[in-house]
């Protein structure tokens, strides 16, 4: 125990960093983080075969610079007011943002509103671009 106290005293920044990263990881696991992330090919399959839809939660200006065809733009800041107006909580919803962070936040809101099939596009628009898939403006 004495060695542990000495280690913590000598390496407190390392211990603090470990504690912060561990708590972030645990909180991500507890709220189901990224387990609902899907690839662009899986997303396309949901759209084509199960009448899913893309909802882009980026700001209007980001959306206008390039978006996935037929995606609906509902910025994350407007989502609480508009989520109740979206029809078909049993149809797949694929949430899109720049990298996936905002979409993950939106996924929680959709799930809390009763949507049963909620997914996040892995890598967001950046991942879509890397795969050289089309964007429209």
How long a stretch of residues is the chain?
Answer: 137
pLDDT in tens, 16-52: 888 888 777 776 555 554 469 999 999 999 999 999 9
Q: How many CA atoms lie within 13 A of 80 on its CB side?
A: 1
At residue 34, the pLDDT reads 45
Q: Output the DSSP codes for 27-48.
A: HHHHTTTTTTEE-HHHHHHHHH
- Residue with the larger pLDDT of the pair 2 and 63: 63
At residue 31, the pLDDT reads 55
At residue 29, the pLDDT reads 57
**Quick one: tokens of 51?**
């009448």
Q: Say whether pLDDT at 3 is over 60.
A: yes
Catalytic amino acids? 97
113 CB burial (10 A radius; 0-12, 13-18, 19+): middle
CATH number of 37-130, picked from 3.40.250.10, 3.60.40.10, 3.40.50.1820, 3.40.50.300: 3.40.250.10
Indicate the domain borders of the chain.
1-30, 37-130
pLDDT in tens, 58-113: 999 999 999 999 999 999 999 999 998 887 778 899 999 999 899 999 999 999 99
Instruction: Please report which helix (H) or strand (E) contains residue 77, including its range.
Output: none
> What's the whole-number mean pLDDT along residues 115-132?
94
At residue 2, the pLDDT reads 76
């Amino acid at each position: 125990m004495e060695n542990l106290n000495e280690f913590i005293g000598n390496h407190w920044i390392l211990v603090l960093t470990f504690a912060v990263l561990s708590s972030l990881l645990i909180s991500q696991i507890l709220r189901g983080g990224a387990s609902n992330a899907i690839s662009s090919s899986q997303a396309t399959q949901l759209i084509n075969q199960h009448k899913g839809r893309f909802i882009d939660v980026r700001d209007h200006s980001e959306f206008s610079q390039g978006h996935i065809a037929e995606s609906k733009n509902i910025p994350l800041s407007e989502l609480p007011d508009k989520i109740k107006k979206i029809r078909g909580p049993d149809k797949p919803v694929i949430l899109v943002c720049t990298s996936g962070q905002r979409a993950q936040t939106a996924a929680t809101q959709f799930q809390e509103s009763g949507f049963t099939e909620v997914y996040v596009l892995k890598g967001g628009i950046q991942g879509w671009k890397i795969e050289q898939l089309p964007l429209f403006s």
